[in-house]
Amino acid sequence: MSFFNSVTHHPEDPILGMEVAFKADTRPEKVNLGVGAYKTAEGTPQVFSSVRKAEKLLLEKNLDKEYLPILGNAHYIKESEKLLFGEDSPILSTNKICSAQSLGGTGALRCGGELLFQNNISKNIYLPDPTWSNHWNIFAKAGMKISAYNYYDKTLHTLNFSGMKKSIENMPAQSVILLQPCCHNPTGITPSLEQWKELSILIKNRKILPFFDLAYQGFDQGLDEDAEVVRHFVKSGHEMLVALSYSKNFGLYGERTGLLSVINQDETTSESIRSQLKHIIRSNYSNPPLQGQRIITTILQSKELKEEWVQELHSIRERIHKMRKELLCGLTQKTEPNRFQFLTNQTGMFSFSGLNKAQVHKLEKNHGIYMQANGRINIAGLNSKNIHYVIESILAVI
pLDDT digits over 63-106, tens only? Answer: 999 999 999 999 999 999 999 999 999 999 999 999 999 999 99
Predicted confidence (pLDDT) per residue in 196-239, tens digit = 999 999 999 999 999 999 999 999 999 999 999 999 999 999 99
Q: Is 42 found in the same domain as 106?
A: no
Q: How far apart are CA 109 and CA 106, in angstroms?
A: 5
Q: Is 140 found in the same domain as 287?
A: yes
Parent domain of 131: 67-301
Q: Is 110 found in the same domain as 37?
A: no
Classify residue 7: in a domain, yes or no. Answer: no
- Of the residues 196, 248, 309, 362, only one is catalytic, namely 248
CA-nearest of 60, 127, 320 to 216 is: 320
Residue 160 CB-half CA count within 13 A: 18
Predicted confidence (pLDDT) per residue in 20-32, tens digit = 888 899 999 999 9
Classify residue 1: in a domain, yes or no. Answer: no
Classify residue 61: in a domain, yes or no. Answer: no
- Of the residues 39, 53, 96, 132, only one is catalytic, namely 132
Boundary (domain end) residue, out of 252, 283, 301:
301
In the residue annotation, 303 being an active-site residue is answered as: no
In the residue annotation, 136 being an active-site residue is answered as: no
Task: Please state the rounded mean pLDDT for residues 111-138.
Answer: 97
In the residue annotation, 213 being an active-site residue is answered as: yes
Q: Is 313 found in the same domain as 336?
A: yes
- Of the residues 213, 220, 309, 362, only one is catalytic, namely 213
Q: What is the mean pLDDT of the chain?
A: 95
CATH code of the domain containing 183: 3.40.640.10
Q: Is 228 found in the same domain as 110?
A: yes
Q: Is 345 found in the same domain as 243?
A: no
Boundary (domain end) residue, out of 253, 283, 301:
301
Using the predicted structure, report yes or no on whether residue 14 has a pLDDT greater than 80: no
Task: Please state the rounded mean pLDDT for residues 321-331.
Answer: 95
The number of domains in the chain is 2
Q: Is 184 found in the same domain as 289?
A: yes
Classify residue 81: in a domain, yes or no. Answer: yes
Q: Is 207 found in the same domain as 344?
A: no
